[in-house]
Amino acid sequence: MVIADHAMLVDQSLCINCDACTLVCKQIYSLTEDIYRTQIDTYEHGAYPDSIEVFNKKACMHCTEALCVISCPTGAMHKNEDGLTVYDERICISCNYCVANCPYGVITFDRTKGIMEKCTLCDKRVENGLEPFCYSVCSPQAIKYGSRPAMIAAGNQRVQLLKSQGYEEANLYGVDEFGGLRVLLVLQYTPDKYNLPAETEVPMGKRVLKYLISPLGGIAAVAGIGALIYNYASNKKGSV
Amino acid sequence: MTNHWTDYQHSDVFMNIGGNTAENHPISMKWIEKARETKGAKLIAVDPRISRTAAVADVYVSIRPGTNIAYLGGLINYIFENERYHQEYVANYTNASYLINENFSFDETTGLFNGAEDDPVRNATKYNTESWQYQRDADGNALKDPAMEDPNCVLQLMKNHYRMYTIDNVSKITGADPAALTESYDLFSSTGEPGKAGNLLYAMGITQFTHGAQNVRSCAIVQLLLGNMGIAGGGVNAQRGQSNVQGSTDMAILYHILPGYMGTPQQAAHPTLEDYLVKETPAAGWWTNKPKYLVSLLKAFYGDEATAANEFGYQWMPKLDGLDHSHIAQYKDMGEGKVEGMFCWADNPAVSGPSAANKRNYQKNLKWLVSVDVFENETASFWHGPGMNPAEIDTEVFILPGAIGYEKEGSKANSGRWIQWGWQAQKPPGDSKSDLWIVNELFKRIQSIYSAEGGVVPDAITKMFWDYDGPDGEVDIVKVCKDINGYRTTDGSLVTNFVGLQADGSTACGNWLYSGYYNNYEKPATKSRVKEKEGLGFNLGWSFAWPLNRRIVYNRASADLEGKPWNPDAPVVWWDEAQQKWVGNDIPDIPGSWTLEQSTENPFIMLPEGVGRLYSHSALKDGPLPAHYEPAESLVPNLLYPQATYNPVSQRFYADHTVETAEERERYPYIITTYRIVEHFQTGIVTRNLPWLNELMPELFIEISEELADEIGVNNGDKVIIESKRLFKDGDQSGIEAKACITKRFKPMVIDGEARHVVGMPWHWGFKGMSTGSVTNDLTASVGDANTTIPEYKAFLCNVRRAV
């Protein structure tokens, strides 16, 4: 069954950092050493024995207003029909603007392959009616998957439960951030404790930039090809 | 486990003590979270470190490594003081009302029970348990005080024994915050209310101590007092760390037991089969069937050669000489040149054993060493470990390539005792072979050599029944399954289960507990995969659980005296008036022929007294009730029993091996504990050869609190040297190296008014494989539990300094 408007709900309160998601992703997508499409970060706060440790399974959030898309000069990083942020390596010039602009730090440039790596939300798998791999392997079932309204409802329910358990700061992250995210997070504490960005809107300056560069797409493409050649040459050098 | 993984969904409160279930048993969290979501269950984590389980727990209690008895003793005292115990359960299903010999006593100055004697052989204390027994009438019936008021009844003795375990004392010993202690005690003891379920789950952080067995006893006492044994969502749940470690224990990988938990015969006490059967078979309880199981085992061992006339081959079976032959003792013998060769099968003691550097030194005394593993491990390659000079080592090493789980077929028993068949996913690469193939070929050759040339005790080898070849000449696993399940020797037909076993030689059975798991060739239960659609998660059609497919043992205790479930929302079994028998969602753990009255008097069918033992008069060597002892290496005196230090019954294998003087305590001023991490498995032989896992967890580290880091001038990521007394003594190294991980997960603990630093290290590394690192166990001491000799990996002393 293919779900329209599909989204992922990652319940960080259930995550136990077992790395099953990290590994299945590395394996399936044959990722290079030290390159990840999803990874779990750990943050410690407070003082022992009341110190807390939180886990953040981080991966592309598929922002509706995606800074990587806005900043990409060639359209390599773009939105597909489903609204997912997807990447076309054929027209990427490896300028790394997407890496620099991503508010979540989840796009990585793989120097050995010369491409950007980021979570696709397993789009090809989803097109075939299957679920993302990380969802399938999550042992504490911290990852849920379905239509976005259903995920928002499920997330809100978990937040209510967490609040009733005494987590006063519990919240659902991603409903409105960057125009709405396709990956929603259930958090026990405020987003800053998970190192999530304080700024959750596209800055005006960057919007303007996009309007400016759009008509210049042709020029950018030409520049892009030049950069591609340069990049290819420099990569070759780098690989010696 | 008395219960099983999917049963966790029924718990109201979880106490994870001496384990880190979120990191080391990740799938458990699926069921813990289900209980939290559907029932509002609470999770308590008790650990020196804010482990991943502690990170997601509702209540976290920080205790110093090695003080579990103090912590659990405090809980027991809290249960008594606040009358939280399950009154009806305790009065009827435990030995609380039994009267103990009036001479029984415990000296609160020396920390010794009465009956203490010197044991010169073991260089320790031993107990004469005569005066620990029940008072009995002339007919031998145990005397009881149903009102439980007699000062010699178990309940009163326990109240007195545990009265010293106050919040204040426990806090001083463990370093735990008194408020956290009270909160956790209050929460867990709330499950003493009938119908509530408390789940006590643990792992190696309970067992790996010189008082490990008494730690487990403490867990059992707590669960009996709260009426948590036998019920859904309750139990004492030992979470196993390896897919088939339960199976290997069932099959008697340990030297002191035979398959199915029967004691190994001792030459002195059991020279004949009759001696063994008479002395080892109790007068009441399920173990009255022991002769059937032992004779059937002998028939499985020796086949047609075993007859009533030759004691079913009993004389061919190896017997113990009364000495310790556990892991530590074996290596000690090796160090003394008493061991010529070693067969090391899927084991890597050069990384996993205590004082591993010494162990690698002892291996130099071996003439030959065979290692069966999937990669070359540190035990096989000890000769080029740190400080070794290969030119001086004459040991001949053979490496047989084994196959990993997915490359072979066979059953694996999980923590919940489910014996599940695993099919071969792919063939092992190259010349690698399954363990079964290797052992079959090996023993056929040994047998033919002994048949041709004889030997010291040739009959023990030549009379062994060994016919496991299939028609194609390859080993046939189904023949092994037939042996284990049991069959009639008359016609070779499979027995239905262990009820069909006999003591007259008409049946053979390799492990009575497994009987029934493969009782037909077409659809054996172990291969069955019927998933429960609705129900309580017992999944009776999914594989086979020992014994007799019972998923919760002692489940008769889940119902009241009339046979009605304490918790009607999760009924396990109940008495059906109409049918006059026990029925339920699980297989009743009661003989089918019993009346309600019989089952009410004997809910714990394995024991002669038929009730759970709050007080265990002879099962353990180091006392009928757990008492707080310090670990073998400790910075502080025993705050409860001033003249006691560590477990007096625990054997001292080596002189000058552990920290004992004040001067030494200054030299090794930090408490250290060891543990495992999710990215690597055991000694890392498989995982350290997987690039992805090495990428996630590339090297050995030591976790250090911010305070200690400041004190010794270490920054995150700096290299540090860790020293313990073992390395200085006879190793060539001065310490081991690891990277410092500065963390908020540890904090100095205030023990009796003084701050003490605690550090922790994983131990998965060695000098072979793709990711190499120091062997953490070079630091640990070769001291072990008084009953099991499991080494004390979890609490010892060390020094940490910057690597210059």
Closest to B261 (Cα-Cα) out of B311, B297, B211, B214:
B297
B contacts of A47 (beta carbons < 8 Å): 744, 747
Q: How close does chain A come to B699, measured CA to CA in Å?
A: 14
Same domain as B666, residue B767: yes
pLDDT at A237: 44
As given in the structure block, the two tokens for residue B127 are: 């107990």
The answer to whether residue B367 is domain-embedded is: yes
Residue of B nearest to A162 (CA): B37
The answer to whether residue B407 is domain-embedded is: yes
pLDDT digits (tens, 9 = 90+) for B449-466: 999 999 999 999 999 999
Closest to B5 (Cα-Cα) out of B417, B620, B593, B519:
B417
Evaluate whether B116 touches B318 at the Cβ level (below 8 Å).
Answer: no
Q: Which of B220, B238, B256 is the last residue of a domain?
A: B238
- How far apart, in whole angstroms, are the C-alpha atoms of residue B675 and residue B689? 20
The answer to whether residue A66 is domain-embedded is: yes
Sign of the four-CA dihedral A9, A14, A17, A23? negative
pLDDT at A239: 41
CA B118-B119-B122 angle, 5° bins: 145
DSSP string, B320-361: B-SS--SHHHHHHHHHTT---EEEEES--HHHHSTTHHHHHH
Q: A141 — alpha (psi -120 to 50), left (phi > 0) or beta? A: left
The answer to whether residue A227 is domain-embedded is: yes
pLDDT at B522: 97
Q: List average pLDDT for each run of 10 residues in chain B, which is 804 residues long.
A: 96 97 93 94 97 93 97 98 98 98 97 96 94 96 96 98 98 97 98 98 97 98 98 96 90 94 96 97 95 98 97 96 93 97 96 95 97 97 92 96 95 96 96 96 97 94 96 94 97 97 98 97 97 93 96 97 97 96 96 95 96 96 98 97 96 93 96 96 95 94 97 97 80 81 94 96 97 96 96 98 89
Reported as type and span, the H/E element at residue B411 is: strand B410-413
**Chain B interface, best mutation among A21, A41, A42, A48, by max B CB count within 10 A:** A48
Closest to B514 (Cα-Cα) out of B195, B128, B161, B246:
B246
CATH number for the domain harbouring residue B147: 3.40.228.10
The answer to whether residue B611 is domain-embedded is: no
What residues pair up with B384 in beta bridges, in sequence order? none
For residue A217, pLDDT over 70 is answered with: no
B contacts of A167 (beta carbons < 8 Å): none
Q: How many CB atoms lie within 10 A of CB B547?
A: 21
- Confidence band for A240, pLDDT divided at 50, 70 and 90: very low
Residue of B nearest to A35 (CA): B695
pLDDT at A236: 47
For residue A219, pLDDT over 50 is answered with: yes
For residue A218, pLDDT over 70 is answered with: no
- Confidence band for A233, pLDDT divided at 50, 70 and 90: low
CATH number for the domain harbouring residue B339: 3.40.50.740
Q: B67 — phi, psi (to 5°)?
A: -120, 30
- How far apart, in whole angstroms, are the C-alpha atoms of residue A74 and residue B501? 78
The answer to whether residue B321 is domain-embedded is: no
Segments forming the whole domain that contains residue B434: 327-414+417-453
Evaluate whether B745 touches A48 at the Cβ level (below 8 Å).
Answer: yes
User: CB distance B745–A16 less than 8 Å?
Assistant: no
As given in the structure block, the two tokens for residue B428 are: 């092992």
Evaluate whether B314 touches B276 at the Cβ level (below 8 Å).
Answer: yes
For residue A142, pLDDT over 90 is answered with: yes
User: CB distance A54–B747 less than 8 Å?
Assistant: no
- How far apart, in whole angstroms, are the C-alpha atoms of residue B633 and residue B645? 9
Q: Which of B427, B453, B479 is the last residue of a domain?
A: B453
As given in the structure block, the two tokens for residue B599 are: 């089952």
- Confidence band for A12, pLDDT divided at 50, 70 and 90: very high
The answer to whether residue A226 is domain-embedded is: yes
- How far apart, in whole angstroms, are the C-alpha atoms of residue B470 and residue B480? 11
The answer to whether residue A1 is domain-embedded is: no
The answer to whether residue B697 is domain-embedded is: yes
Nearest-10 Cα torsion for B51, B53, B59, B65: -40
What residues pair up with B44 in beta bridges, in sequence order? B15, B59
Q: Which of B238, B253, B288 is the last residue of a domain?
A: B238
Sign of the four-CA dihedral B497, B500, B505, B506? negative
- How far apart, in whole angstroms, are the C-alpha atoms of residue B197 and residue B233? 5
pLDDT at B242: 82
Burial of B340 (0-12, 13-18, 19+ CB in 10 A): exposed
For residue A226, pLDDT over 60 is answered with: no
- How far apart, in whole angstroms, are the C-alpha atoms of residue B599 and residue B193? 22
Burial of A208 (0-12, 13-18, 19+ CB in 10 A): exposed
- From chain A residues 20-59, the ones with a CB under 8 A of any chain B CB are 20, 22-23, 26-27, 33-34, 44-49, 51-55
Q: B14 — phi, psi (to 5°)?
A: -105, 135
Evaluate whether B529 touches B520 at the Cβ level (below 8 Å).
Answer: no
Same domain as B774, residue B669: yes
User: CB distance B62–A34 less than 8 Å?
Assistant: no
User: CB distance A19–B22 less than 8 Å?
Assistant: no
Residue A139 CA neighbour count, 13 Å, CB half: 20
| Beta strand B42-46 pairing with B13-17 | parallel
Closest to B622 (Cα-Cα) out of B440, B784, B483:
B784
Which alpha helices (H) appear in A47-180, and where do they start and end?
67-71, 97-101, 123-127, 133-137, 148-164
Q: Which stretches of chain B sit within 8 Å of chain A by CB?
A: 22-23, 26-27, 29-30, 33, 36-37, 40, 50, 52-56, 58, 60, 62, 177, 180, 678-679, 691-693, 695-696, 705, 743-747
The answer to whether residue A115 is domain-embedded is: yes
- How far apart, in whole angstroms, are the C-alpha atoms of residue B421 and residue B544? 9
The answer to whether residue B224 is domain-embedded is: yes
The answer to whether residue B515 is domain-embedded is: no
CATH number for the domain harbouring residue B796: 2.40.40.20
CA A76 to chain centre: 16
For residue A231, pLDDT over 90 is answered with: no
A contacts of B743 (beta carbons < 8 Å): 44
Segments forming the whole domain that contains residue A56: 6-239
Task: State the greatest distance between any 2 C-alpha atoms of chain B, in Å, as a whole number.
Answer: 80
Closest to B548 (Cα-Cα) out of B570, B525, B572, B521:
B525
- How far apart, in whole angstroms, are the C-alpha atoms of residue B399 and residue B381? 10
Select from B40, B54, B695 the Cβ nearest to the Cβ of A34. B695
- How far apart, in whole angstroms, are the C-alpha atoms of residue B766 and residue B768? 6
Same domain as B234, residue B352: no
ω into B591 cis (within 30 of 0) = no
For residue A58, pLDDT over 60 is answered with: yes
DSSP string, B375-398: S--TTTTGGGSTT--GGG---EEE
Structural domain total, chain A: 1
For residue A216, pLDDT over 90 is answered with: no
- How far apart, in whole angstroms, are the C-alpha atoms of residue B669 and residue B74? 27
The answer to whether residue B621 is domain-embedded is: no
Q: A233 — phi, psi (to 5°)?
A: -65, -45
Q: Which residues contact B793 (CB under 8 A, 6 or more apart)?
A: B204, B208, B354, B674, B763, B777, B780
As given in the structure block, the two tokens for residue B196 are: 């509530």
Select from B37, B678, B743 the Cβ nearest to the Cβ of A161. B37
CATH number for the domain harbouring residue A157: 3.30.70.20
Residue B793 CA neighbour count, 13 Å, CB half: 26
User: CB distance B679–A19 less than 8 Å?
Assistant: yes
pLDDT at A220: 54
Instruction: Look up residue B627 and give its amino acid.
Output: A
- How far apart, in whole angstroms, are the C-alpha atoms of residue B354 and residue B536? 42
Structural domain total, chain B: 3
- How far apart, in whole angstroms, are the C-alpha atoms of residue B564 and residue B542? 27
User: CB distance A26–B747 less than 8 Å?
Assistant: no
Per-residue CA distances from B284 to A90, B292, B297 (Å): 79, 15, 21
Evaluate whether B337 touches B755 at the Cβ level (below 8 Å).
Answer: no
The ipTM of this complex is 0.82
Sign of the four-CA dihedral B702, B707, B709, B712? negative
The answer to whether residue A175 is domain-embedded is: yes
